[in-house]
Amino acid sequence: MKNHYGPSVYYASDKSIRDALNQPKISDKSLQRLLYSRGILLSSENARDYLAGYFSRLNYDYYDQAEIADAMEVQPRRDRTTSRFITTQNDISIFEHAADAIKSEIEKREDGIDINLIDNRLTVSIDYISIDYRRSEFSQVRRQTGVIDVIKSATGYIVRSTQTPYIDERVESFLAEAEKACQGKNFSLSTINLQAVPDHKYRTEFFDLLINGLIGYPLIDVSAAYVFKKHPDPDEIDDDDNVSDDLEDIRIERASLSGKGVHRSEEIKALHNREFYAVRVSWSVADSSQDRFDIDATFSEPESCSGFSYLLRRVHQYIGKGRPPHQRSPLKKEIDTMYSLLEDSATRAMTSIREKYHAK
């Protein structure tokens, strides 16, 4: 895998070096090591700002900059997951061939790819580097791992993948290769979306059904809700419409509420009455052992209600009556279980909403 530090890092100014060395991510030992490589010994009385300024006035090479960039690198975080549903009777080998087909495309970018087929489940792990040029020079790099999982289902396969622009592109190529292997026959793709249901009430009801539909995991609380309202294009407003100039200047498209019992609040009800509809919800559920799970689900494209994705954020593990729960990251088994339940609940909710909307 190639080491990207971003074009601007190769021309780091003395100010960039000084600012980077003053960041908490740069440990005292790292700064000592940089100066020691110049034959400079430090006194415990030397202030960090003075040492950073002193080093920035010295000559420094690519390896010095690379070391600083590594220390300043944005730490990876867990990304959201999205799903596509494939209806087919073909063997999973078509997906294995598709993974092999995109392997050369990925390796051309000098990114890493690992393909594993175990117990009728195909996992494709892709290691890559993304660069955010909006950050300072030494915080632009983020090493990421994206995953494409192909899981057998009753009607075909679920393709579950990390939702990032880079992985989304790889998934599109992956599915195109799989469909090509089927020669366009017996291969149907669907996603969770409400594009065919523009009514704001039904779009909000989708999330009500979703959060209450995790079998065996009753709803505990809704901690955050995000709503959206599409306004007409100013060019589409008829001059005869009874809209004052002052009101035309007021255009609120998004709103968010956070706290406790958000879904029961008068504030969220007032927004729904003004035709704002839900596009994202954060909530918690519990299992029979009283462990609590924090979940987040959203439509990344709020106007069309498409790009559905979800994330199991954390687990509050019950450790006894009267004792605070232990917060931890979810285990792989918990993620798989919860994501299967979320996909099932979202599919049932979408089907129900579409039937109600088209039957009215």
Domain covering 81-190, topology: TATA-Binding Protein (3.30.310)
Per-residue confidence (pLDDT) for residue 119, from 0 to 100: 86
Per-residue confidence (pLDDT) for residue 43, from 0 to 100: 78
Q: Is the dihedral of CA 114, 299, 193, 315 positive or negative?
A: positive
Indicate the pLDDT class of residue 7, thresholds 50, 70 and 90. very low
pLDDT, one tens digit per residue, over 165-222 is 999 999 999 999 999 988 867 899 999 999 999 999 999 999 999 999 999 999 999 9
User: Which of 41-45, 282-286, 317-321, 350-354 has the least mean pLDDT?
Assistant: 41-45
Q: How many CB atoms lie within 10 A of CB 4?
A: 17
Please give the backbone phi and psi of residue 200, each rounded to the nearest 5 degrees, phi first.
-65, -35
User: Which of 23-37, 48-62, 68-82, 316-330 has the least mean pLDDT?
Assistant: 68-82
For residue 160, give the nearest of 348, 335, 351 by alpha carbon.
Answer: 335
Domain borders along the chain are: 7-72, 81-190, 200-359
DSSP character at residue 164: S
Residue with tokens 């596009």: 279
Question: Residue 333, exposed/middle/buried by CB under 10 A (0-12, 13-18, 19+)?
Answer: exposed
Note the pTM of the prediction, 2 decimals: 0.79
For residues 66 and 70, give the distance between their C-alpha atoms in angstroms, rounded to a whole number. Answer: 6
For residues 138 and 12, give the distance between their C-alpha atoms in angstroms, rounded to a whole number. Answer: 9
Per-residue confidence (pLDDT) for residue 116, from 0 to 100: 95
Q: Is the dihedral of CA 167, 168, 171, 173 positive or negative?
A: negative
Please give the backbone phi and psi of residue 74, each rounded to the nearest 5 degrees, phi first.
-65, 125
Two structure tokens written together for 26: 């740069």
Helix ranges, the chain (H) = 14-21, 28-36, 48-56, 62-72, 93-108, 165-181, 200-211, 245-248, 266-273, 332-359
Indicate the pLDDT class of residue 9, thresholds 50, 70 and 90. very low
Whole-number average pLDDT of the chain: 87
What amino acid is encoded at 166 in this protein? Answer: Y
Per-residue confidence (pLDDT) for residue 152, from 0 to 100: 94
Per-residue confidence (pLDDT) for residue 64, from 0 to 100: 77
Q: Is 323 strand, coil or helix? A: coil
For residues 231 and 227, give the distance between their C-alpha atoms in angstroms, rounded to a whole number. Answer: 13
For residues 342 and 149, give the distance between their C-alpha atoms in angstroms, rounded to a whole number. Answer: 16
Mean per-residue pLDDT, 18-32: 80
Q: Answer whether residue 71 shows pLDDT above 80.
A: no
Residue 205 makes CB contacts below 8 A (sequence gap 6+) with 353, 356
Q: Which residues of 88-123 are buried (b: 16+ CB within 10 A; e: fewer)?
A: bebebebbbebbebbeeebeeeebebebeeeeeebb
Q: How far is the CA of 228 from the CAs of 193, 204, 231, 252, 259, in angstroms?
A: 15, 10, 10, 9, 19
